[in-house]
Amino acid sequence: MRLDIVTIFPEFFDILDISLLGKARRSGLIDLAVHDLRDYTHDRHRTVDDTPYGGGAGMVMKPEPWGEALDEVLPQDPAGQQPLVIFPSPAGDVFTQAMARELSTEAHLVFGCGRYEGIDQRVFEHTATRARVRLVSLGDYVLNGGEVAVMAMIEAIGRLVPGVVGNPESLVQESHENGLLEYPSYTKPASWRGLDVPPILLSGNHGAIAQWRHEQQVERTRRVRPDLLES
C-alpha cells in the first residue's frame, strides 16, 4: 500500500518510523512518504494561509500550494486507478473499524492535513476532478489540525494490511470487529493483590470459555455502548 501525507508539520509523522508500522515500512508492505506543504509555496515566507473572503475569525489555507502538492503526489496517468484522497475534517464521515477495513484494501491513499480554519473549498472541488475524495472525521470533537487524526487513521488502516500484524487471528477477536466490545483478558499470576482470575478461564473447557467471553462482550457492550447493539 502506498501512502502520501501532505502537511505543514512533516516532523509529526516521524514516529511512524517506529513500532509495527515502521516494521511494515522497512519490509516494503507500506510505502509512506510525507510532503511539506510549504515546499510548494513560492514566497519568501512560505505562506500557506490567508484571511477568509467574507470576513470572520481565523485563517484559511490557500489553494495554490495544495494544487501544486497534489499535482506532484497524484499520478498523471488518467487511465490508471486513481488514489483515494482523504481530507481529515470534523465535517466528514465518521471513521469506524468498517471504514478502516474498506480503506485497507486501497492501493494508494493520500492524506491532506488541513490546519487553521480549513482549506479553500475549491481544493476539494478541483481534487475531485482527478481523484476520488473523501472527508473523514475522527468523532464529535475539534482538533487543531488533521495530523493527529491522520495518525490514528493510518494506525487503524495499516494494521489491517495483510502481513502487517503477525498473527491475523489477533485481528478478528478485537473490539468492533464483530460489532461488540472486547472481552476482558487475564494472564499469570492467577491471584494478584487479592484479585483472582475468573475460574472458568482455568477450567480448560474451551466451549465454556468461548461462551463466557461472548457473554462478557455482550454485557460490556450493553453497559458502555448500547448504541452498538441497536445497529
Q: How far apart are CA 148 and CA 144, in angstroms?
A: 9
Say whether 50 counts as a known binding-site residue: no
Closest distance to ligand 6GU from the beta carbon of 73 (Å): 19
Per the annotation, does 139 bind a ligand? yes
* Spatial separation of the C-alpha atoms in residues 141 and 31, rounded to whole Å: 30
Q: Which of 38, 1, 55, 7 is nearest to 151 (CA)?
A: 7
Nearer to ligand 6GU, 29 or 143 (CB): 143
The residues binding ligand 6GU (CB under 6 A) are: 88-90, 136-139, 141-143, 145-146, 149
Cell readout for 85 is 484522497
114 assigned ligand-binding residue: yes
| C-alpha torsion 205→207→212→216, nearest 10 | 130
The smaller minimum CB distance to ligand 6GU, of residues 7 and 217, is found at 7
**Residues in Cβ contact with 173 at an 8 Å cutoff, skipping those fewer than 6 apart:** 182
Residue with cell 481529515: 88
Closest separation between CB of residue 111 and ligand 6GU, Å? 10
Range 196-213 burial, b when 16+ CB lie within 10 A, else e: ebeeebeeeeeeebeebb
Closest distance to ligand 6GU from the beta carbon of 82 (Å): 22
Residue number with CB closer to ligand 6GU (71 or 117): 117
Give the shortest CB-61-to-ligand 6GU separation in angstroms.
12
Least distance in Å: CB of 120 to ligand 6GU? 16
**Smallest separation, CB 149 to ligand 6GU (Å):** 3
**4: number of CA atoms within 13 Å, CB side?**
18
For ligand 6GU, the closer of residues 151 and 160 by Cβ is 151
Instruction: Please list the alpha-helical segments (H only) found in the chain.
Output: 19-26, 63-73, 97-103, 121-128, 147-158, 169-172, 206-224, 226-230
Q: Is 140 annotated as a binding residue?
A: yes
Residue 142 annotated as part of some ligand binding site = yes
Q: Which residues contact 109 (CB under 8 A, 6 or more apart)?
A: 1, 2, 3, 4, 83, 84, 85, 86, 103, 157
Give 83 or 112: the residue with its C-beta nearer to ligand 6GU: 112
Q: Which is nearer to ligand 6GU, 10 or 221 (CB)?
A: 10
Residue stretches of the annotated binding site: 114, 138-143
- Detail the residues annotated as belonging to a binding site for S-adenosyl-L-methionine: 114, 138-143
